[in-house]
Amino acid sequence: MGYKIAVVGATGLVGQEMLKILYERKIPVSEIYAFASAKSEGTYVEFGDEKIKVEKATVDGISKADFALFSIGEEISLELAPEIAKRGTIIIDNSNAFRMNPDVPLVIPEINPEDLKNHKNIIANPNCSTIQMLVALNPLHKKWRLKKIFVATYQSVSGKGKDAIDELLTATSSFLKKEDYSPKVFPYPIAFNLIPHIDSFEDENYTREEMKMVRETHKILHDPTIKVSPTCVRVPVLRGHSEVINAEFEEEFTLKEVFEVLSNAPGVKVLDDPSNRVYPMPLFCDGKDEVFVGRIRKDLFEPKALNMWVVSDNIRKGAALNAVQILEYMINNK
């Protein structure tokens, strides 16, 4: 038994990773379709050894599939997904379009797969920064209940797509050659710089990216009382987002217990041996599935709080892998 699966946005970084992961994880596929915007129509993408011709994303085309994994941007998701869902295709959407819609489950399979029971053919994949933060925090939350999260992100340029990767490379080389370079993707030069601004500014001077971390945490953990205090920063790293997290819990715990819980947590790998300089870094998480956690310490002043450093491949667990895991869960629990 196989499923007809469409990847919508197949030529993008996340779309190509989705195809790779569908193949790697041996998802039972009877037909695979690749869709993208009109400018990529007729090009080819790879699925294992096969070359798949890219079709223009349309309602009629995508509705041929049993499942459609979308990573084509909010605007096209909003335009196409509702009608495709109405025709019976189950959509797993990686954009921000439906995440806060009460009819749409927002799912991290390691945390809230039971939310998949109630869907109306659209399921949302959370934002990359939320996914890695909650995969690391949820096992601790289940034991000691989260009260407050302070998080600062160090987000790689790949979160903004292929053009952003090119911009970092070109900007770096221009900087070294002392040539002029005007940024096109980012509001300021990204080479040798940090930009504390991801997505647009919202109320109270928080960015939309920061508010995603607040709202998505509440929805996924089903607890709007958890205080989330985020600052999101773009850094000149190609791939892999990193986060400094200070988390405060309702109950006290020992560091030994924290290591035990995290070492047995699904999707988490602890890399923490300071005397041997072992800690997670984005350069070494590229292409890996896990959320890496290190620099785990008790807060110096608050006995119920801890600090940690969390790194993950934003294109894999932060986007494509999480979407494929949702699909896998749905197939296995039909």
The one-character DSSP state at 195 is B
φ, ψ dihedrals at 86, nearest 5°: -60, -35
- What value does the CA radius of gyration of the chain take, rounded to a whole number of Å? 20
The one-character DSSP state at 58 is -
β-strands 305-312, 291-298: how paired? antiparallel
How many C-beta neighbours within 10 Å does residue 305 have? 19
12 a known binding residue? yes
262 contacts ligand 2RA (rule: CB under 6 A)? no
CB of 160 to ligand 2RA, least distance (A): 5
- Judged by CB, which is closer to ligand 2RA: 242, or 306? 242
Q: Which residues contact 172 (CB under 8 A, 6 or more apart)?
A: 191, 192, 236
Taking residues 121 to 160 in sequence order and writing x for each that binds ligand 2RA by CB under 6 A, - otherwise, the string is ------xxx-------------------------x---xx
Taking residues 181 to 210 in sequence order and writing x for each that binds ligand 2RA by CB under 6 A, - otherwise, the string is -----------------x----------x-
Q: Which residues contact 23 (CB under 8 A, 6 or more apart)?
A: 47, 48
- Judged by CB, which is closer to ligand 2RA: 65, or 326? 326
Selecting among 119, 141, 232, 241, the annotated active-site residue is: 241
Selecting among 119, 128, 141, 232, the annotated active-site residue is: 128
* E-assigned strand segments in 24-100: 29-36, 44-47, 50-56, 67-70, 90-93
130 a known binding residue? no
CB of 71 to ligand 2RA, least distance (A): 9
Q: Is residue 141 flagged as an active site residue? A: no
CB 240 within 8 A of CB 13: no
Q: Write out the two tokens for 76.
A: 């096209």
Element (H, E) at 87: none
Q: Is residue 119 flagged as an active site residue? A: no
200 a known binding residue? no
- Judged by CB, which is closer to ligand 2RA: 77, or 129? 129
71 a known binding residue? no
2 a known binding residue? no
Q: Which residues of this protein are in contact with ligand 2RA, per CB under 6 A?
A: 127-129, 155, 159-160, 198, 209
Active-site amino acid positions: 128, 241
Residues contributing to the annotated binding site: 11-14, 39-40, 99, 155, 158-159, 234, 314
